[in-house]
Amino acid sequence: MHMQRLTLDKFTSFCKTRGFVYPSSEIYGGLGGIYDYGHYGYLLKENIKNAWIKSMIQDRDDVTLLDSAIFMHPKTWIASGHVDSFDDPMVDCKHCKLRYRADHLLEEFGIKIDDKASIDEINAELDALRHAGNLKCPNCDSKELTSARRFSLMVKSNLGSTVDKLNDEDVVYLRPETCGGIYLEYKNVVETLHPKFPFGIAQVGKAFRNEIVARQFIYRTREFEQMEMQYFHHPDDTKQKYEEWKQFRWNWYLEYGIPENKLQWYKHEKLAHYATDAYDIKYKFDSLDGFAEVEGIHARGNWDLSQHSKYSGIKLDFFDPERNEKFIPHIMETSAGLNRLLMMFLDNAYHEQEILTTDNEGSGKKDTRILLRLDPRLSPVKIAILPLMKKQVLIRKAKEIFNNLKKLYICEYDESGSIGKRYRRQDEIGTPYCITVDYQTLEDNTTTVRDRDSMNQERIHVNELKVYFAEKIL
Ligand code: GAP
């Protein structure tokens, strides 16, 4: 059970001290909205990614993979509408110079506005607050706030041999979403893999957005990873496919241990320029004190392929032999943020538990145990192997077991400190099983296997360990 709410500060500090997530460039004072992933963060992120890929590729037979480049021809983002209209409304405080996303600023005054609201609608709300004398900077209380204006989220870079001769030809964008590469490779995939229609293309990779404020730890960052799947289908099938994909993605969260009562659907009333229908899956973050979006499921119509066909002059239609019909496929998109999902899984797994321990004099005392109740498939380390005491005979046996199991699983060997402290350390990084080698092991070749969540221990023969874990860690 949580003993108290997991505040964002506490969560951020936990992620840093346990080697999951570090603020980037810290020795230079940090770089807003950018984070690095430590050993355990990296492993957890890989496991989430693999769980997503497994569900898309191994559990189905109609989706293929792609790894497209981050840089794409600049026309990509003109065709997609991003250069013209991928922006957020921004308000500046003239006094303390802090910058706000206007919709977030309005939320501070209890006004909820759809994130696709027009700039005029936003300014009308801001003006109403201003005229009532209520609009002030949440940081310094100044009433000198600018009107909202559009701020492009596109991150620019340049390519070319002559850096000092920067012109429009050299300007390239770091992709703001990974799906762009999928549309550009659609033709190659069709011509080389000949997928049976309807089919999907999935990819995981970095995306970059010039977010105005990136204040909620790794929830909203300027560099992040997306896991996106674009499903190419006939327009007549949109309704059915939309429901199927909504259900498919919802079930994935349940399968990996997110309780259904912490999930919610949110239907967008105002849609992005490309979308014909859009729902978000929201998760109830303890660390953000409420529900927030983790994934979008969008019906994108044939906007993307039509636009890229128009701007490139290349036909991107599809001949479906079963229908005997040529058409531009419509697209169903599932789009999840990998870093955001990592935050969600950690937020959901974090538990504090009051337990009774025995001190050196043998009397009981109350203590708090922190544990990450991660699904074992997601846990960064699967098994820790611990000699009960730092004695050569126990160390030798424990290392022998460690060397065998590490061929199959990410394992840790630890001989430092009391056994209680070592268990606690593994609980905090979410290791589901600890094997302890004691004197009985030397006599009958059995070990104790301790379960992270229940703290129950059972004796398992060393020769049975592989079979035992094969059933526990799928
Ligand atoms: N291709 C559609 C698309 O990119 P989106 O709603 O802008 O749609 C999809 O983004 C998902 O990507 C979000 O639900 C979120 O999980 C993640 N995401 C978007 N912006 C992010 C940011 N600045 N930091 C972290 N994750 C982000």
Which atom of ligand 1 is the closest one to the Cα of 214? 23
- Sheet order of strands, 433-437 included: 411-413, 383-387, 433-437, 446-451, 457-461
Q: Indicate the burial class of 188 (C-beta count within 10 angstroms; 0-12, 13-18, 19 or more).
A: exposed
pLDDT of residue 474: 78
Q: From residue 209, how far is each of 87, 90, 154, 265 by CA, in Å?
A: 10, 14, 6, 25
pLDDT of residue 235: 95
pLDDT at 1 over 80: no
Angle at 25 between CA 19 and CA 29, to 5 degrees: 115
Q: Are 222 and 32 in contact (CB under 8 A)?
A: yes
Residue with tokens 């199991």: 405
Ligand 1 centroid–CA 178 distance in Å is: 10
pLDDT in tens, 149-160: 999 999 999 887
Residue with CA at minimum distance from ligand 1 atom 17: 337
Residue 269: other Cβ atoms inside 10 A: 9
Determine the average pLDDT of the residues in 21-35.
96
Amino acid at 142: S
pLDDT at 161 over 90: no
pLDDT at 263 over 50: yes
295 lines ligand 1 (CB under 6 A): yes
Mutate which of 80, 208, 224 to test ligand 1's pocket (most atoms within 8 Å of Cβ)?
A: 224
209 lines ligand 1 (CB under 6 A): yes
Determine the average pLDDT of the residues in 89-107.
93
Residue with CA at minimum distance from ligand 1 atom 16: 337
Domains of the chain from N-terminus onward? 8-80+170-347 (3.30.930.10), 87-152 (3.30.40.230), 381-472 (3.40.50.800)
CA torsion 258→260→263→269, rounded to 10°?
150
332 lines ligand 1 (CB under 6 A): no
Residue with CA at minimum distance from ligand 1 atom 4: 177
Local confidence band at 269 (pLDDT 50, 70, 90 cut-offs): confident
pLDDT at 167 over 80: no
pLDDT in tens, 57-89: 999 999 999 999 999 999 999 999 999 989 999
pLDDT at 297 over 60: yes
Q: Are 264 and 288 in contact (CB under 8 A)?
A: no
226 lines ligand 1 (CB under 6 A): yes
Which atom of ligand 1 is the closest one to the Cα of 280? 14
Phi, psi of 228, rounded to the nearest 5 degrees: -125, 145
Q: Could you give the 3-state DSSP secondary structure of residue 426?
A: helix
pLDDT in tens, 449-461: 999 999 999 999 9
Amino acid at 160: G
The proportion of the chain whose per-residue pLDDT surpasses 90, expressed as a percent, equals 88
426 lines ligand 1 (CB under 6 A): no
Helical (H) or strand (E) element with 64: strand 63-65
Which atom of ligand 1 is the closest one to the Cα of 176? 4
Both tokens of residue 287?
């660390």
335 lines ligand 1 (CB under 6 A): yes
Ligand 1 centroid–CA 226 distance in Å is: 7
Determine the average pLDDT of the residues in 219-228.
97
Determine the average pLDDT of the residues in 310-332.
96
Which atom of ligand 1 is the closest one to the Cα of 226? 12
Ligand 1 centroid–CA 173 distance in Å is: 17
Residue with CA at minimum distance from ligand 1 atom 12: 337
Ligand 1 centroid–CA 90 distance in Å is: 19
Phi, psi of 451, rounded to the nearest 5 degrees: -90, 130
